[in-house]
Chain A
Amino acid sequence: MEGLLVKENQARKKVDLHCYHCGEACDASISSNEKYFCCDGCKFVYQLLQENGLCNYYELSDKPGIKVRGKFSSQRFVYLDNEEVKRKLSRFDDGQQTHVSFYLPQMHCASCIWLLENLHTIDHGVLFSKINFQRKEIFIVFDPSKISLRKVVELLAFLGYEPYISLKEGERKINRKISRQKIFKIGIAGFCFSNSMMLSFPEYFSSGNIREPELQLVFNYLNLALSLPVFFYCANEFFISAWKGLHQKWLNIDAPIALAILVTFLRSVYEIISDTGSGYFDSMSGIVFFMLIGRWFQDKTYDSFSFDRDYKSYFPLGVTFIRNEKEETGTINQLKKGDKILVRQNEMIPADALITKGEGNIDYSFVSGENTPLLKRKGELIYAGGKQLGASIEMEVVNTVEQSYITQLWNNDVFTQQKNKDKSFIHPWSRYFTLILFLIAACAAVYWALNDPSKILPAVTASLIVACPCSLLLSATFTFGNMLRHFGKNKFYLKNSSVIEALSQINTIVFDKTGTLTYSSRANVIYEGHLSPEEINMVYSLAKESVHPLSRIIRQELIIIHNFRPLPVNDLRETAGKGIGGLINGRRAKLGSRQFIEETDSIDNSTRTGEVYFSIDGVIKAVFKISNQYREGIATMISSLNQSKYQLKVLSGDNAAEKNKLESIFGKQSTILFHQSPQDKLDFIINYKKQSSKAGVLMLGDGLNDAGALMQADVGVAVSESSSQFTPACDAIIDSNEVQKLHNFILYARAGKKVITWSFILSILYNVVGLSFAVQGLLSPMIAAILMPLSSISIVTFVTVATSFLAKRRGL
């Protein structure tokens, strides 16, 4: 019997029953229309959809539903009735129609799109809804006389798509304007480039001697007209960036490009007006076009991720105040020291506060990474960020939100500093490039001054035109752009391309433990003792009634093995944070800590170490030992990192119970620290970077407690269990199932740097060829028109093929 639950590697029996709504393994106790559900929440959602003829939802994708977590509190969104909040959230309101748009992190499949665009069949107050799947946004038009904003949000939350509401204005809107402008620029540059190339062909084919002078004139002036939008509109970002750089006495990569565009334009205008030639307008438009495409390719970002969240994204917006014995709702911004507030079950404590009424059972996992909820009595201080698992409590605020223990972390300078982007190794290249170019141009000028002064200007301008470092820039943007795509395919989402460079310099890796090295929701369960199937069912039935995380783990563990019909429990009594007991088939069963089972007041550590006792009629029948389960492949990755001589560190907010296990994985040479507060983690990284200046530190963490360390590290990577989970501010987000690929990611980043070096050499070869024409004063518009697009296209092809090949070789 014992063997049933115990063995880690034992192949588990398949479960037959899955919740029809969310797909989670479940028992047969809750059903409707011969379909089974894991909880009442899922069943209610199903019934609502069924009543409205929306069951198509279940046919479009397999088990599309989102598990309904906890009880739905009717008070949660009361703050949305506030007029000011309403005004801030709605984009348009004329009394008949209100337009709002929300970010729905839970949206994940075609069924979601279908259901959310059919909201009007569930509630006729909703007039129209439209989804942008990639941004995970919904745009809703509703009739405020039929349905309130609060009711709309409640409907979304009931269906499982709880919107993420932020009162910061315009957080996501600006982005769209910028990306539209990019598309305009590419379109216009492409139009001008292709037309001016067509108009230049006659001249190329007749090698510069068109018999009809007036035709030539028309072509030239048309070309000039076509180049104006390219020069003044499409290319303006290069000029702006170069100017900004010069202002700070810094020659960035855009400076030589801006110079080349400017020189090309001026010389071509001069040639046409003085009727001495036809200019290089087609080359200029072509270069601008290719570079804009390169930038667009590189900057294609992950719209649905946010890399800049601070604690405010995690905290509730609405707070229930108690004033003159009455409950009032307000927003978190109104919270002051000395305010009395009410915190309900499953709500987060918004600021450091003392309990004045009730008993707290506080889950700090969010702040400290510790798994087990803590019992807090009247008069005890509770830090902001804790979640109340028990019944409602009344509290008195002792610190404002900004001054609270956890949020103080954000007052640290780390969060206001921008990481230095100019460290990029492309910039020094472009500086050398510009210097050498000027040197060559000067040499050519001196030579022609001695031999044929009339050729000075053509030779100098031609060298500046042809030696445009566009191919340098294109090689970097396309390499990084393609690498970002390959990382993204492997569910490793980088904030921008400068992270790739930082990643290639990593030699120290710091891990958080809970949620990063271990699964945050799964655990190993080992049990000692002998239980009959009926008794196992008793454990299951009790665990099902409890909200404690350990009960949840036991319940999940048991349901994978058996298909239960839970037994009815009478006289159910739960002591929050301690245990649960009740009468099952006339026998008194208890599940909980040792202290709870034996009814003594002696202090024990059983909940901390993850031991759960089970007794029937006062006799202990079994002990469940629950320990962290490490992610698959973690041990292999750590040993390969160790072999490659990375410095590895572990900073855990949890207690030292797992010390031996961690040492066996990491080896003796790694630093492993426990009881680390968020501030400790931040300080550790600051000090480490001071001690060894050459260290490139990568921090891997998941919770708000790692937020400071993630910001301070050269590369902060947030681990996310699902794309809907909120992640703290970071440089990259990694899917929790891909953590074991971290070493490959670093190696790939290094390989990418080599690809850029190679393509630089290639582009320098092109430049040598081009310059050899230019210094002799022989650069005809035709040679420029062939050479410049050819070099751009061949370099883009080279880097794209090379990075894709390397990705394949690394198994990415």
Chain B
Amino acid sequence: MSVLILLIGFSILIAGGFLLAFIWSVKRGQYDDDYTPSVRMLFDDKPVGEEDPSFKPKQK
């Protein structure tokens, strides 16, 4: 039955991976604003003279 122990070890490892992903996403601020992104994704056409969209602000 030791195969069960192995399986359980894996399943907890995978679940732990998802937990880490969750913690990372909260830290990145994905849960800070649950409304604006839903509106923002509908603005598809960029206005004339759009600046370089790849600009990212420096991290603090």
Q: State the A residues within 8 Å of B (CB).
A: 52-54, 56, 60, 91-92, 94, 97, 99, 110, 113-114, 117-118, 120-121, 124, 127-128, 131-135, 141, 176, 179-180, 183-184, 187-188, 191, 195, 199, 212, 215, 218, 222
Contacts and interface: CB of A to CB of B under 8 A. Distances in A.
Contact of B51 (A53, A114, A124, A131): A124
A52 B48 CA distance: 7
Contact of A52 (B26, B32, B39, B49): B49
Contacts of B23: 184, 187
Nearest to B42: A110
Interface of B: 1, 4-5, 8, 12, 15, 18-19, 22-23, 26-27, 31-36, 39-40, 42-43, 45, 47-51, 55-58, 60
A117 B12 contact: no
A132 B35 CA distance: 8
Contacts of A117: 40, 43
Contacts of A124: 51
21 contacts: A56-B45, A94-B58, A97-B57, A110-B39, A113-B36, A121-B47, A127-B57, A128-B55, A128-B57, A132-B33, A133-B33, A133-B36, A133-B39, A134-B33, A135-B33, A141-B57, A183-B31, A188-B19, A191-B15, A191-B22, A218-B8
Contacts of B12: 195, 222
Contacts of A132: 32-33, 36
A240 to B, nearest CB: 21
A127 B53 CA distance: 10
Given A56-B45, A191-B19, A215 B26 contact: no
Given A117-B40, A195-B15, A212-B1, 13 more contacts: A53-B47, A113-B39, A113-B40, A113-B43, A121-B49, A124-B51, A131-B36, A132-B32, A133-B36, A134-B35, A135-B33, A180-B27, A218-B5
A124 B57 CA distance: 15
A124 B32 CA distance: 28
Contacts of B33: 132-135
B8 A199 contact: yes
Contact of B36 (A53, A134, A199): A134
B22 A187 contact: yes
A121 B51 contact: yes
A183 to B, nearest CB: 5
B55 A118 contact: no
Contacts of B36: 113, 131-134
Q: Which of A60, A97, A121, A199 has the most CB of B within 10 A?
A: A121
Nearest to A134: B35
Contacts of B5: 215, 218
Query: Which 7 A-B residue pairings sit nearest by Cβ, starting from the closest?
Result: A53-B48, A133-B36, A141-B57, A132-B33, A191-B19, A110-B39, A53-B47
A55 B33 CA distance: 27
Contacts of A176: 32
A120 B26 contact: no
A118 B43 CA distance: 11
A227 to B, nearest CB: 14
B18 to A, nearest CB: 8
A131 B47 CA distance: 18
B27 to A, nearest CB: 8
A94 B15 CA distance: 41
Contacts of B27: 180
A513 B42 CA distance: 44
A401 B51 CA distance: 46
Contacts of B22: 187, 191
B19 to A, nearest CB: 5
A159 to B, nearest CB: 15
A134 B32 CA distance: 10
B58 A97 contact: yes
Contacts of A56: 45, 47
Nearest to A132: B33
A17 B2 CA distance: 81
Contacts of B58: 92, 94, 97
A99 B57 contact: yes
Contacts of B50: 121
Nearest to B59: A92
Given A131-B36, A134-B36, A135-B33, A120 B60 contact: no
A754 to B, nearest CB: 33
A124 B50 CA distance: 10
A689 B36 CA distance: 45
A46 B54 CA distance: 28
Contacts of A180: 26-27, 31-32
Contacts of A118: 47
A114 B43 contact: yes
Contacts of B15: 191, 195
B35 to A, nearest CB: 5
Contact of B49 (A53, A92, A188, A212): A53
Contacts of A53: 47-49
A120 B31 contact: no
Contact of B4 (A113, A135, A215): A215
Contact of A120 (B1, B51, B56): B51
Nearest to A219: B8
A92 B51 contact: no
A128 B52 CA distance: 10
Contacts of B18: 191
Nearest to B5: A218
B43 A127 contact: no
Nearest to A191: B19
Nearest to A117: B40
Contacts of A60: 43
Contacts of B32: 132, 176, 179-180
Nearest to A97: B58
